[in-house]
Amino acid sequence: MNRLRALPTFRIDPARRVAFRYRNRSLHGVAGDTVATALYANGVRIFGRSLKYHRPRGLYSLDGECSNTCMQVDGIPNVRTENTPLREGMQIKEQNVVGSAAFDLMAFMDKLDRLMPAGFYYRSLHKPARLWPVAMRQVRRAAGLGKISPDFRYGGRCDEVYLNAEVCVVGGGAAGMSAALSAAESGLRVILLEARPWLGGCFDYRPGPSQDGEPLYRRSRELLRSVSEHPGIRVFTHSPVVGHYTDNLVTAFQTGEPGDAFDYRYIEIRSRTVVVATGCIERPLLFEHNERPGVMQVGCAQRLARTYGLLPGERAVFSVGHDLGLEAAVDLSDLGLEIACVADLRQDGHDEHLVTQLAERGIEVLRGWVAARAHGARAVRAVTLATLDGTVQKRLDCDLLAASAGLTPVVGPLTLAGAQMDYDAHTGAFLPSELPPGLFTAGRLLGLHDAESIETSGRLAGLQAAAHCGAVDAAAVVELQAQAAALPGPQRGSKLVTAPVKGRKSFVCFDEDTTVKNVRQSIARGFDIPELIKRFSSAGTGPGQGGIPGHNLPLLTAHLQGKPPSSFVSTTIRAPLVPVPVAAYAGSRHDMCKRTPVHDSQKAAGGVFRRMGVWRRARYFSDDFSCREEVRNVRENVGLLDASTLGKFRLHGPDALKALQRIYIGDMSKMTAGKIKYAAMCNDDGCVIDDGVVVKRGENDYYFTTSTARAGATIEWFRYHTRYDGWEFHLVNLTDAFGVINLAGPNARKVLEKVADADVSNEAFPFAAYREFTAGGGAIAVRAMRLGFVGELSFELHVPSSLMQALWGLLEEAGKPFGIRNFGVEAQNVLRMEKGHIILGQESEQRTNLLDLGLGFLWARDKGECKTVGEAALRHAENDPGRLKLVGIRMQDPQRAPKDGALIVDRRIRGYVCTARHSFTLEQAVGLALVEEPLAGIGTRLDIYEDECRGELLKAEVVAVPFYDPDGKRMRM
Amino acid sequence: MTTETKSAIRRVSPVCFAAAPGESEDRDGWQVVTRYENEGEEGPWLVDLSHRPRWDVQDGHVDALRPGGVSVPQEAGQCRLQDGLLINRMNRTQAAVWHLAGATDGMPAEAAYTDVGEATLMLALFGPQTLRICEKLSALDLAGLQRRPPFLVQGPLAHVPCQIVVAQRNSGDFGGGILWTCSRGYGRSMVHAVLDAGREFGLRPAGEQRFTDWLPSLSSD
């Protein structure tokens, strides 16, 4: 197809060819083309088939307002080709076809529409019930849009950017640009968002005169120059708004240009004010076969020629309801399109100058006429025009029908922001009647048509936004308001709802193949408001996000019931306002996680890492996930565990002890220097939320640990539970300041002795003691604790993080003669389970209290008036017989441990397994479980239900814990 | 343990750049890179300052304290930069003290002070387009017109809770400089995210000297 000669409105470069492939053919477009316009230039008229009836679909809006031109591009289905820039080497495929888009074997579905009335799948195919799964599969197979390969991997680059501004202008047309300039002139930061790849809006391609007589496109470029040169305005083109939320949070996504660092970019804007100048789309005209390829919006036809240099057809008929249609007919006629006739559904109110221009070109204008039917099997071949009452008809041959019932304001960002929308009888549109603070509107959205009015409304909105930010005087706003009031106001809008037809093939929603007839059927079934019709008929639920039916549906609903349009409102608009690639939301792929100071050396030692909360931790050190050797080495020799993820805190200040007494369930006043105290925290329900150890390092100066999971919440927890007391204490989060090495095993002391600059014998450093000494010749300050979480002689060494690798290395070197080796979190899990020590979150859940876990010994009941968190609830709970109790279990089959979380059952669920493993130390399968109290007695036999056990229950018996070293001699050696 | 062992012990920064050090020096156990190869002359730059001392100061009367002889700012969010010492007022009872110039006579003995140099990493990002890089990392308004650098913002950078000080802001090119601290464990993730965000603007790792040269250009409140 030959392009038009170079026009000043072109957004293409005809000299630069871009190659792509379509249906195994090599084709060419030009730089600036979209995929859709490139295909159109190559003679493609049928882009795909419709969802339900497999009707042929073609170019309609150029803005992706419907799924007509959704195709598979480079393996990605449902790409809106009207909005997608053509890139070199793209692979384009049709979708939802059997055969080809032109010859679709499923096209017979179009004849079956009588079998598929509105909501047919809700009403039929359910009886008998066994029919539904079969029918559902067939329905889904027949319908649907594109399919993605399960192996597909998106290879593009996605980015994200978070912007702040005083004014965000949505819409880069004349009004939007004027608003941006007006606001920026007052020194504010302005962001201008435009959905198309360039600014200009409806001025961009129109040759009609602006207020100073210059063509509109030239005026648009003048504004563009001013905007580009203004340092206070940041422009984001090809960036449709996706959402608009409370406090003017605006989200958008941007498609990158060649040379950009991204393909898609998620944009999030916090702005003090927002100006919405999104303009209008065209309201589809409802007539028979109104979506046949060759039927397109007026603006689509004009932009094809003016922007892309493509005459949309050879012989056209226009059926319009506004002066833009007349203007486009004049323009396209001048560009060489033969226009058989212009049917204008308005009886009066035309721009007579345009009517004269049409007459001068020999184009007949029929007032009060409308398209009633498009003819042609796969593309328009002729059109039947009719008077509005349908009494007179005429048929005209054509290959293009430019059709539009009127204009629809694009109000999505307004409704998302909470603007009140009401039917406006003058414009025939749903317009904002009340705006939230900081939100302003401008331009064609308000029904304005006059160029000067549009620009002035933009300037006014920009100034209002600046005034809202306190940057300009209110008097300036009043002055401009007066100027605007003197200009032409909103134009009267078309009220026609549907051509005089039955509506069997008049499509209200192209995406879902919803017809006027379907809407009528919905109303007959009692679904008589747009929201219900939408759900029953699916109108507006497709990829076009309700753009096509959004305005017509409430008008049609009113029309079919003989009610005024003001009786209804449009269906709810929700984000995303336009389809967004999920990859754009994902943004850059950074896994923001924490690593311990010895991450690298653990990795070098074969550590297998897992994400645990915010940390990456070494869970295993071999492919044997039972950790047999790791466990054995700790039990028989010595092992190193990186426990740096533990929460660590300094608590100081004159009221530090009071805070401890409030938060911990034990009596913290009895702590002595050099000793550690194991303590637990409960919530107000007495449920255990954390445990750890506390040491007293000085007067009113404590150091304590928490579990890894609770570290992030600890300071808030202390603050919250002391918020009314006025106590003076201070907390410092030292979690990352200290790395922690757990040196455990019967040879642990022999290793530590070689490294520590202190006596670490059992006499000098007994069990449950705390010591501070140096290691490495005085270079490394160590805070050391004698603990026994894994049930062996253990030293927990807290060391400054920057020096942890050094100490780790020294210990490894010192331990070499003993065969020291790393052990991971899973081995620790097995070791502590054998010892009967709990891990909160594993042996507990939200309802598990201190007593359930057998930790009642930690509870100090005589702390006086300190009001320990959870104490009141515990007093109630200790007399409650219906609670779960933590017990040890031994499996009947020593080789078969149940999965964590497996259920303990009889005729009902009686508890669950918290942790169970095969213990290589004991050569038994053992575990810890929470069971109802009657089942907690030693010797009770338990049945365990595991998922996919096929009814074969596992057998276990309640036994005493600890399973290993019940006297605790090994920890104290 | 021997004296040789002691001298062989090295501190490890939480931050590691995939760049070739040009010059470095041994300082108090830290191997401080003062210059990287291919730092570029235009910027922007990312500099690891994790070895610089940092203190947490908490006291009911924090206003009365004078860390390093410098008074603590009165309002939360305010900063005071004097003689290479930056003091950030965080809330009613708390301030952070960052020794940007490196030198310190040691932490005061009062209980109010805690050495948190090991708890966090500290990075400096400065040069042209710095604030554009920040926009890719945080929704915080670091370029807000209402505040004059230096000022403190507490919030997420690359989704990680941080203390961020906007130290400098140039009009026109979105340039300037920020300093920030966050939990030490995030070192590798943070550097990866920041360098990735800055790639399109030519962001490169730089040695300490680049920061030392830039520091005198910062003004106090």
Are A802 and B60 an interchain contact pair (Cβ–Cβ within 8 Å)?
no
- The mean-pLDDT minimum among A144-153, A171-180, B120-129, B145-154 falls in A144-153
Residues B37-43 have a mean pLDDT of 93
Nearest CA in chain A to B3: A777
Cβ-in-10-Å burial (0-12, 13-18, 19+) of B155 comes to middle
Asked if A145 contacts A51 with a C-beta cutoff of 8 angstroms, the reply is: yes
State how far the Cα of A255 lies from the Cα of B46, in Å rounded to an integer: 29
Asked if A542 contacts A581 with a C-beta cutoff of 8 angstroms, the reply is: no
Q: CA quadruple A101, A102, A103, A109: dihedral positive or negative?
A: positive
What pLDDT band is residue A128 in, cutting at 50, 70 and 90? confident
Distance in Å, alpha carbon of A148 to nearest chain B alpha carbon: 29
Distance in Å, alpha carbon of B154 to nearest chain A alpha carbon: 15
Are A779 and B9 an interchain contact pair (Cβ–Cβ within 8 Å)?
yes
Are A777 and B59 an interchain contact pair (Cβ–Cβ within 8 Å)?
no
Nearest CA in chain B to A781: B6
The CATH code of domain A158-281+409-485 reads 3.50.50.60
The CATH code of domain A13-115 reads 3.10.20.440
What pLDDT band is residue A867 in, cutting at 50, 70 and 90? confident
Task: Note the pLDDT of residue A165.
Answer: 97
Residue B168, both tokens: 């400098």
Are B118 and A596 an interchain contact pair (Cβ–Cβ within 8 Å)?
no
In DSSP notation, A166-181 reads EEEEE--BHHHHHHHH
Q: Is 90 exceeded by the pLDDT of residue A131?
A: no
Q: How far apart are the first and last CA of chain B?
A: 49
**Residue type at B139 in one-letter notation:** A
Strand pairing report for A70-73 and A233-236: unpaired
Q: Is 70 exceeded by the pLDDT of residue B4?
A: no
A301: enclosing H helix or E strand? helix A298-306
State pTM to two decimals: 0.92
State how far the Cα of A665 lies from the Cα of A246, in Å rounded to an integer: 42
State how far the Cα of A509 lies from the Cα of A548, in Å rounded to an integer: 6
Q: How far apart are the first and last CA of chain A?
A: 91
State how far the Cα of A81 lies from the Cα of A42, in Å rounded to an integer: 14
In DSSP notation, A527-579 reads --SHHHHHHHH-TT-STTTTTTHHHHHHHHHHHHHT--GGG--PPPP-S-SS-
Task: Note the pLDDT of residue A276.
Answer: 98
Strand pairing report for A56-57 and A48-49: antiparallel
Of A161, A730, A805, the CB nearest to B58: A730
Cβ-in-10-Å burial (0-12, 13-18, 19+) of B172 comes to exposed
Q: Which of A188, A272, A592, A651 to mutate to test the interface with B (most CBs of B within 10 A)?
A: A592
State how far the Cα of A445 lies from the Cα of A169, in Å rounded to an integer: 13
State how far the Cα of A670 lies from the Cα of A737, in Å rounded to an integer: 27
Q: What is the ipTM of this complex?
A: 0.97
Per residue in A619-644, pLDDT (tens digit) is 999 999 999 999 999 999 999 999 99
All residues of chain A having their beta carbon less than 8 Å from the beta carbon of residue B13 are 802
What pLDDT band is residue B3 in, cutting at 50, 70 and 90? low
Q: With pLDDT > 70 as the criterion, what percentage of chain A qualifies? A: 99
Residue A75, both tokens: 């393996």
Per residue in A749-798, pLDDT (tens digit) is 999 999 999 999 999 999 999 999 999 999 999 999 999 999 999 999 99
Task: Note the pLDDT of residue A754.
Answer: 96
Q: Which fold has domain A599-644+738-770+790-798+807-831?
A: Gyrase A; domain 2 (3.30.1360)
State how far the Cα of A60 lies from the Cα of A76, in Å rounded to an integer: 21
All residues of chain A having their beta carbon less than 8 Å from the beta carbon of residue B11 are 802-803, 806
Of B120, B135, B189, the CB nearest to A161: B135
The CATH code of domain A647-733 reads 3.30.70.1400
Nearest CA in chain B to A652: B111
All residues of chain A having their beta carbon less than 8 Å from the beta carbon of residue B58 are 652-653, 730, 732
Asked if A117 contacts A521 with a C-beta cutoff of 8 angstroms, the reply is: yes
DSSP A602: H
State how far the Cα of B158 lies from the Cα of B135, in Å rounded to an integer: 10
Cis peptide leading into residue A934 (ω within 30°): no
Residue A955, both tokens: 């057998």
Residues A215-238 have a mean pLDDT of 97
Give me the total of CB pairs closer than 8 Å, taking one residue from chain A and one from chain B. 144
Of B10, B30, B186, the CB nearest to A594: B186
What pLDDT band is residue A134 in, cutting at 50, 70 and 90? confident
3-state secondary structure of A476: helix
Asked if A900 contacts A944 with a C-beta cutoff of 8 angstroms, the reply is: no
Give the right CATH number for A287-404 from 3.50.50.60, 3.40.190.170, 3.30.360.10, 3.40.50.2300: 3.50.50.60
The CATH code of domain A881-973 reads 2.40.30.110
Please report the residues numbered 90 through 119 in chain B whose beta carbons come closer than 8 angstroms to any beta carbon of chain A.
93-94, 111-112, 114, 116, 118-119
Please give the distance of CA A690 from its chain centroid, rounded to a whole number. Answer: 33
Neighbours of A78 (CB within 10 A): 19
Of the candidates A279, A577, A563, the residue with the CA atom closest to the CA atom of residue A442:
A279
Of A614, A755, A801, the CB nearest to B118: A801
Please give the distance of CA B128 from its chain centroid, rounded to a whole number. Answer: 18
The answer to whether the A158-281+409-485 and A287-404 domains have the same CATH topology is yes
The structural domains of chain A, with segments of one domain joined by +, span: 13-115, 158-281+409-485, 287-404, 507-570, 599-644+738-770+790-798+807-831, 647-733, 881-973
What pLDDT band is residue A879 in, cutting at 50, 70 and 90? confident
Per residue in A446-488, pLDDT (tens digit) is 999 999 999 999 999 999 999 999 999 999 999 999 999 999 9
Of the candidates A640, A684, A623, A556, the residue with the CA atom closest to the CA atom of residue A818:
A640
Cβ of B136 under 8 Å from any chain A Cβ? yes
More confident residue, A927 or B220: A927
A480: enclosing H helix or E strand? helix A474-485
The b/e string for A590-624 (b: 16+ C-beta within 10 A; e otherwise) is bebbbbbbbbebbeeeebbbeeeebbbbbbbbbee
Distance in Å, alpha carbon of B210 to nearest chain A alpha carbon: 23
Nearest CA in chain A to B12: A802
In DSSP notation, A710-759 reads TGGGHHHHHHHHTTTT----EEEE-TTTEEEEEEESTTHHHHHHTTBSS-
Task: Note the pLDDT of residue B146.
Answer: 83
Please report the residues numbered 36 through 65 in chain B whose beta carbons come closer than 8 angstroms to any beta carbon of chain A.
56, 58-60
**Residue type at A284 in one-letter notation:** P
Of A162, A592, A737, the CB nearest to B160: A592
Residues A932-949 have a mean pLDDT of 94
Instruction: Report the 3 state secondary structure along A339-378.
Output: EEEEEECCCCCCCHHHHHHHHHCCCCEEECEEEEEEECCC
A35: enclosing H helix or E strand? helix A35-41
Residue B17, both tokens: 């750049």
Residue A527, both tokens: 């679904």
Per residue in A138-187, pLDDT (tens digit) is 877 776 678 888 898 888 899 999 999 999 999 999 999 999 999 999 99
Q: Supply the mean pLDDT for chain A.
A: 94
